[in-house]
Amino acid sequence: MTYALLITAFVISTCGLIYELIAGTIASYLLGDSITQFSTVIGVYLFSMGIGSFLSKYVEKNIAFTFVQVELLVGVIGGCSATLLFLLFNQIDNFRILLYSLVAIIGILIGLEIPLLMRILQDRLDFKDLVSQVFTFDYVGALLASLLFPLVLVPYLGLIRTSFLFGLFNLGVAVWTIHLFRNELPYKNTLKSTAYLLIFALVCGFAFADKLMGIAEAATFQDPVIYSTSTPYQRIVLTGNSKDLRLFLNGNLQFSSRDEYRYHEALVHPAMASINAPKDILVLGGGDGLAVRELLKYPSVQTITLVDLDKEMTVLFKNQGMLTRLNQNSLNNSKVKVIINDAFIWLRTTPQKFDLAIIDFPDPSNYSLGKLYSDTFYKTLKNVLKPGGMVVVQSTSPFYAKNSFWCVDQTLRSVGFNTTPYHAYVPAFGDWGYVIGSLAPFKPASQTAYPAGLRYVSADTLPPMLCFAKDMLPTVSSVNKLNNQSLVHLFESEWGEYVDAH
Amino acid sequence: MSTPISRAVFLKVLAGCGIAAVAGKLALDAPYLKGSKEKIRCRMLGPSSKIGHRLRQAAGNEKVSGTQSTRVTIIGGGIAGLSAAWWLKKYGVNDFIILELEKEVGGNSASGSNPYGAFPWGAHYVPIPNTESLYVRQLFEELKIIQGYNAAGEPIYDELMLCHEPQDRLYKDGAFHEGLVPKRGLQTDESAEVARFFELMLSFRRATGSDGKQAFTIPLDLSSQDQNFIALDSISMSQWLNDNNFKCKPILWYVNYCCRDDYGSSTENVSAWAGIHYFAGRRGTAANSEPNAVLTWPQGNGFLVEKLKAPLKGCIRNNLMASAVKQKGNKVLTTCLHSDTNEYSAIESDFVIFAAPRYVAAHVIKDQKQPDTAHTHSNDFGLSYAPWMVANISLRQLPDSRGLAPAWDNVSYYSDSLGYVISNHQEISTRQKPTVITYYFPLSQMQPKAARQKLLQSTEEEWSRIIIEDLKGMHPNIEKDIISIDLWPWGHGLIRPSVGLIWGETRKRMKEAKGNILFAHSDMSGMSNFEEAQYHGVEAAKMVLEKLES
């Protein structure tokens, strides 16, 4: 029986540490800044354990009974903690209150465990053996937990299943203890049936963790969802792990922080560096501020006007710590003016003229977006350019959707732009295409014109970007018009092939 | 087919038909639709019937408070009347008055707006004009709808006005498909019949008569008088389909749909010439679109009304109904009733262009010889008009549907309605926001008189329920998205091109001027559309200009 109880110490300490790690991990996923999150979670947790230890002295009778109750509570609260944190993140205003309350409750309960266990064992062992053995098992359990968590549990089970699994271990301890003290415990049957009921509940939770994840939206994404919101225009979801931050709009990947510099350098610099001292720049779409970050590398720039439809998006990228670190706080720069409007409608009324317009719209996957790639749109765009001005258009993938890509090129040419199509390899997207439309023929810049510190685009890497292999050349040709929407039709059929293939 | 109109019915219908633009601001006090879980505001709009009653009480020798004089009085501010004014002004005659019964001009091209957008109450598009549609082209050049011509002489249209893709979709067999011609799920013989029909229509479109004129033109008065084609006017479209061995349901449905769409009547009540004209008359081409494209605007042809109206500010008199028109020597005296003050006044002019529906003339134009016999039907040609219900439905979002994404025109194979048009289809905004759809329902299943009674007697509750149930056929979940339903019953929506009307004696007599009173309305073509209305307006204005010069 003594050894049975010592193994209990090992199990409960493992569980305790796992809950702490889960809380810390989810907090850093959801709130960012893992140092702060882990520090505060550990602090609150240890402090609460102290409270638990302190409270243990008020338990005088029926220590085993209290111990079983504590185990049941830890099992159910700790077991559901990950689910609660994920599900409630979007529902409540102050997530931190929920987080720290949960950590504190679990901490207090865990804090009660060891003192109670020691008092159960005090008659069976000498004090020095008692302390030595209980803490030995306790610390071994901690080591095991800290190794299992990152190496096995998170990769193979995920956070939600891990927390259910360890809740089950705690409940197992409760059942085990009920069995050991079957002759001394009051309300034995009630305790037993409660334990079995909770075990059933957690097993269900474990089995249907995918469904729960689906509710928390995390299932659709490879990485945990750390922020999500619905605006009138789109669903914004941010996912992240320690190395990568990803933005999804309506489920479509917009960038991955690991390689977005490739996409944005390729979008901005070939055109930008080729202009002599560009002053006034227009960005349509691109509310993430990442293209603006690249533009701000040119000291000649005086104004950047960014027009985006979705206010939430720009607010997010102006204020959220992780995101402003990524865009280097570009949207808060005094040269940048953010306008919330429909790009097409705004273009038709603005008196401003620009040296360069950067068009970073979502792909033409529906008819209303298709209008933003029409010849009528590009004609309107031409009117806001200064003499010798330029546009650059993100134009989907010339590999996956070659005819769509060349349709953008041809549409720009149809309204009188000289076009320079090029492409770049962005691992998160694949081979990605852009088209420069210029009023005068495009001349690639010399290396001195590029700002320092670029990691992808340079005078040397541009020439191969201008080359297109045979498998990227078009098989049909068409101009995208409001009254034919040929680009949307092409895009649907071309990307459809890849979607169907899955 | 001819429906003699009794005086009482006439007055009732007059009250319910002369439709004009309505400030469609959502009446926040409009009642909720009963029996729906959703809170749907519904209301019946339309002109007050008071004017009609006032006319009935005072049809005798009313006191006239004052007489004004002008050179030309234009009665009716629809497309014909506005086009007559456009032409007069263009040729230097500014001394004219347009009398309009309603608060706003526009007639069948009336439109409205609410916080979610502008929408049509009636006509909502114009096909790109043929080369012979000279007046339409001239107007479109002035309004910059035609922005220039390419080397081949084809017009370049403003692409914001050419109907954006996707244009039409048809709900059939559980999903929406592209276009309005049933194509999916047809047997091979059915497909062959559909193909044969379009080949025949193409040959009609290319056909020229023995007089060297095109068989089917717009305006239709320019069409060939070759008996081979004219004879088609003496049989019904359904007869022609039968004679030419068109028997399968998909093609019969499609042709019937087209007749109901353009004429508000089924193939039995439309002459074969008119039925074929729908397919064979349009041969417009453009530099920047497919042939036979259409021009459309969120407020429908209300856009053209606004443009035509803009330079006519001082000339339009709203809320004025011509109650009597009399030739007096070489002048014409028009008595009008002010619907807001219930007073009568008179206008003396050299000419009257009567641009109101032709059947109204029988009750307004007093015979010189028999001054009190206005209601003796001496002027009544037994014209038949199709009653319509038009509803503008505000939706929180476009309804879910299977198959093709929402198009401009959305039609169900299984419905008696014509489906609906999405009013903000031409918008260039990518925002998702509430929108308005315009739903068209010609009451072509019943005789016009009975249909008119049903139209005017049914309540907004009854109509809203009918419409919601109909839309549910395409969109089972639409009810939850409806914010409001505004209804507009058109008692005399469109004239029916019944058998024999277009090329028979009736239409010749309808067009004859009575002294200095000239007739201008699409009724004079026997079919209601922008091109015909404009043609008759301009032709009447030209005649006035000629006579003024001599």
Task: Look at A483 and B160 and tell me if their CB atoms are within 8 Å.
Answer: no
Task: Give the chain B residue nearest A340 (alpha carbons).
Answer: B431
Respond yes or no: is residue A431 known to be catalytic.
no
Q: Which of B163, B430, B433 minimises the CB distance to A369?
A: B430
Could you say which DSSP state residue B289 is in? B
Residue A79: what residue type? G
- A115 and A188 co-located in one domain: yes
- A332 and A307 co-located in one domain: yes
Going by C-beta distance under 8 Å and a sequence separation of 6 or more, which residues neighbour residue B151? none
- A308 and A195 co-located in one domain: no
pLDDT value of position A120: 86
- A85 and A229 co-located in one domain: no
pLDDT value of position A90: 62
- A424 and A464 co-located in one domain: yes
The mean pLDDT value for B171-184 works out to: 91
Phi and psi at A321, nearest 5°, equal -55, -50
CB B300 within 8 A of CB B125: yes
Phi and psi at B196, nearest 5°, equal -65, -40
Interface of A with B (CB under 8 A): 232-233, 309, 342-345, 366-372, 374-377, 481-485, 488
Residue A144 burial (CB < 10 Å; 0-12/13-18/19+)?
middle
Two structure tokens written together for B79: 């497309």
Q: Which CATH architecture has domain B7-50+111-122+385-495?
A: Alpha-Beta Complex (3.90)
Describe the crossing of helices A158-180 and A63-89 by its angle, rounded to 10 degrees. 170
Q: What is the dihedral of CA B9, B14, B17, B23, to 10 degrees?
A: -140
Collect all residues of chain A within an 8 Å Cβ-Cβ radius of residue B405. Answer: 366-367
Return the residue matching tokens 């641009």. Answer: B355
CB B438 within 8 A of CB B298: no
pLDDT value of position B229: 97
CB B332 within 8 A of CB B514: no
Task: Give the chain A residue nearest B168 (alpha carbons).
Answer: A483
Question: b vs e for A443-472, b when ≥16 Cβ sit within 10 Å of the residue's Cβ?
Answer: eebeeebbbeebebbeeeebeebeebeeeb
Task: For chain A, say whether B429 makes contact (Cβ under 8 Å).
Answer: yes
What is the nearest CA distance from A404 to chain B, expressed in angstroms? 17
Collect all residues of chain A within an 8 Å Cβ-Cβ radius of residue B397. Answer: none
Helix (H) or strand (E) holding B112: strand B111-114
Task: Look at B288 and A484 and tell me if their CB atoms are within 8 Å.
Answer: no
Task: Look at B431 and A233 and tell me if their CB atoms are within 8 Å.
Answer: yes
What is the nearest CA distance from B428 to chain A, expressed in angstroms? 6
Task: Look at A482 and B165 and tell me if their CB atoms are within 8 Å.
Answer: yes
CB B253 within 8 A of CB B263: no
pLDDT at B449 over 50: yes
Q: B125-296: which CATH number, 1.10.405.10, 2.60.40.1220, 1.10.10.10, 3.40.462.20? A: 1.10.405.10
Report percent pLDDT > 90 for chain B: 68
- A185 and A270 co-located in one domain: no
Lowest model confidence (mean pLDDT) among A5-9, A448-452, B271-275, B479-483 = A5-9
What is the nearest CA distance from A307 to chain B, expressed in angstroms? 13
Lowest model confidence (mean pLDDT) among A405-414, A444-453, B269-278, B394-403 = B394-403
- A242 and A391 co-located in one domain: no
Measure CA A329 to chain center: 19
Task: Give the chain B residue nearest A484 (alpha carbons).
Answer: B165
Task: Look at A368 and B290 and tell me if their CB atoms are within 8 Å.
Answer: no
pLDDT at A366 over 90: no
Collect all residues of chain A within an 8 Å Cβ-Cβ radius of residue B160. Answer: 376, 482
Task: Look at A366 and B432 and tell me if their CB atoms are within 8 Å.
Answer: no
Chain segment B462-474, per-residue pLDDT in tens: 999 999 999 999 9
CB B238 within 8 A of CB B277: no
Task: For chain A, say whether B372 makes contact (Cβ under 8 Å).
Answer: no
DSSP calls for A90-141: TT-S-HHHHHHHHHHHHHHHHHHHHHHHHHHHTTTS-HHHHHHHHHHHHHHH
Task: For chain A, say whether B286 makes contact (Cβ under 8 Å).
Answer: no
- A201 and A157 co-located in one domain: yes
DSSP calls for B250-275: HHHHHHHHHHHHHHSS-GGGSBHHHH
Pick from B145, B422, B428 the residue to mutate for testing the A interface (most A CBs within 10 Å): B428
Residue B208: what residue type? T
Chain segment B8-42, per-residue pLDDT in tens: 444 444 444 333 334 344 445 677 887 777 788 88
Task: Look at A345 and B160 and tell me if their CB atoms are within 8 Å.
Answer: no
pLDDT at A477 over 50: yes
Task: Look at B159 and A371 and tell me if their CB atoms are within 8 Å.
Answer: no
- A409 and A389 co-located in one domain: yes
Chain segment A241-287, per-residue pLDDT in tens: 778 888 888 777 889 999 999 999 999 999 999 999 999 999 999 99
- A121 and A235 co-located in one domain: no
From residue B295, give the alpha-carbon distance in Å to each of B102, B201, B305, B432. Answer: 26, 22, 14, 24
Return the residue matching tokens 């850093």. Answer: A28
Task: Look at A371 and B164 and tell me if their CB atoms are within 8 Å.
Answer: yes
pLDDT at B176 over 60: yes
Question: Where is mean pLDDT largest: A57-66, B292-301, B422-431?
Answer: B292-301
Lowest model confidence (mean pLDDT) among A193-207, A445-459, B365-379 = B365-379
Task: Give the chain B residue nearest A362 (alpha carbons).
Answer: B430
| Pairwise pLDDT comparison (B276 vs A91), residue with the higher score | B276
Select which of A360, A363, A375, A409 is catalytic.
A360
Superfamily of domain B58-103+318-382+498-549: FAD/NAD(P)-binding domain (3.50.50.60)
- A408 and A329 co-located in one domain: yes
Q: Chains A and B: how many Cβ contacts under 8 Å?
A: 62
Task: Look at B431 and A375 and tell me if their CB atoms are within 8 Å.
Answer: no
| Domains of chain B, residue spans | 7-50+111-122+385-495, 58-103+318-382+498-549, 125-296
What range defines the domain where residue A137 resides? 2-218
Task: Look at A485 and B165 and tell me if their CB atoms are within 8 Å.
Answer: yes
Q: Which of A232, A366, A371 minimises the CB distance to B405?
A: A366
pLDDT at B57 over 70: no
pLDDT value of position B425: 93
Domain of A290, CATH number, reads 3.40.50.150
Task: For chain A, say whether B164 makes contact (Cβ under 8 Å).
Answer: yes
pLDDT value of position B436: 96
- A144 and A122 co-located in one domain: yes
Pick from A284, A308, A482 the residue to mutate for testing the B interface (most B CBs within 10 Å): A482
pLDDT at B373 over 70: no
pLDDT at B7 over 70: no
Phi and psi at B341, nearest 5°, equal -105, -10
Total domains present in chain A: 3
The mean pLDDT value for B48-60 works out to: 54
